[in-house]
Amino acid sequence: MLLVFLLNLREGWLQAKGCWDLEGCFSCPQDELREQLTCFCALKLVSAGAKTAARPFEYGRTHVVRPKGRHQATIVWLHGLGDNGASWSQLLETLPLPNIKWICPTAPTRPVAVFGGFPCTAWFDVGDLSEDGPDDVEGMDASAAHVANLLSTEPADIKIGVGGFSMGAATALYSATCFAYGKYGNGNPYPVNLSAIVGLSGWLPCSRSLKNKVESSQVASRRAAALPLLLCHGRGDEVVLYKHGEKSAEVLRSNFQNLTFKTYNGLGHYTIPEEMEDVCKWLTATLGLDGSCS
């Protein structure tokens, strides 16, 4: 079962790193995939009993895509489990959104429970890619704080947001809840004012505590209701199952009333031009950008 899961995850990762083909979808080579993952699983078994590395973890390289037109918005975009900021920066640079500055950080390399403790780039530790899994609040707080720090130096007249794919989407949604509540999970104040959240093929962490936190404060309820969210999920996703994305949207919608949930028949754990076009249109309308997505 683990090998099947890793094959599905690796396939989605490769497809998200692929290139546009003439048929209008992502394609990529799959050479030596099974051999690489067999080795990966063997390494996992060796490292499963290893002692967890001490925190804090070091974040990797951050890639920045500068706006080609008038700078109106800055979005931190977060990659998925095992990926890096470079791959998504290459895709985001091709989007017809000339007024957005994209900041694409790379997550720390850390032991990940879903891989039996094998280290890979991850925004937080995770044992189950769903809203029902145990919550690594310390890890999510650290990554949400890293994102907020990247946005904290942006000019005051620039709208800021967070987006991501898979685990990156989960981290973006966690940032949204921190913004609404005004605090991280550890109680420290959340410092930036978010204008948009985008999550592709992701899930909502800490869903069990979200409702009580937001509804306990009128200020939090108002912030949540005013923050625009776009969630997209493929019905064919075998890594983060569609039902988890759908349930996350339902939980969020009870507080985040300005939420759009888009679904794509047959889409697995990767992205396609139709989905990215929807993202472009939504960001242009939501952020009031000069440019248009053609």
pTM reported for the whole predicted model: 0.82
Beta-bridged to residue 229, according to DSSP, are 197, 259
Please give the domain boundaries of the chain with CATH numbers for all domains: 2-19+31-47+60-287 (3.40.50.1820)
79 is catalytic: no
Distance of alpha carbon 84 from alpha carbon 46, whole angstroms: 24
Going along 28-111, which residue ranges are E strands?
63-65, 73-78, 100-104, 109-111
Least confident among 44-53, 65-74, 169-178: 44-53
Q: How confident is the model at residue 292 (pLDDT cuts 50, 70, 90)?
A: low
- The answer to whether 147 touches 102, Cβ cutoff 8 Å, is no
Express the helix, strand and coil content of the chain in percent, nearest 5 each. 40, 15, 45
Question: What does the pLDDT look like over 25-36, one tens digit per residue?
Answer: 333 333 333 333
Quickly tell me which residue has 């969630």 as its tokens.
231
269 counts as catalytic: yes
227 pLDDT above the threshold of 60: yes
Helices (H), 124-261: 137-151, 167-181, 207-215, 218-226, 242-253
Instruction: List the catalytic residue out of 201, 233, 269, 278.
Output: 269
Angle at 128 between CA 254 and CA 227, to 5 degrees: 30
Say which DSSP state 114 is in: G
Active-site option among 125, 135, 136, 237: 237
Catalytic-labelled residue, pool 166, 175, 201, 207: 166
- In sequence order, what are the residues at sequence separation of 6 or more whose Cβ sits closer than 8 angstroms to the Cβ of residue 79? 85, 87, 88, 104, 106, 107, 121, 164, 165, 167, 168
Does 71 participate in catalysis according to the annotation? Answer: no
165 φψ region: left (φ > 0), alpha (ψ -120 to 50), beta (else): beta
Of residues 70, 285, 80, the one with CA closest to residue 195: 285
For 83-138, write each residue's pLDDT tens digit. Answer: 999 999 999 999 999 999 999 999 999 999 999 999 999 999 998 877 777 789 99
Q: Among the listed ranges 48-57, 69-78, 101-110, 273-282, which one has the minimum average pLDDT value?
A: 48-57
Q: How far apart are CA 197 and CA 172, in angstroms?
A: 7
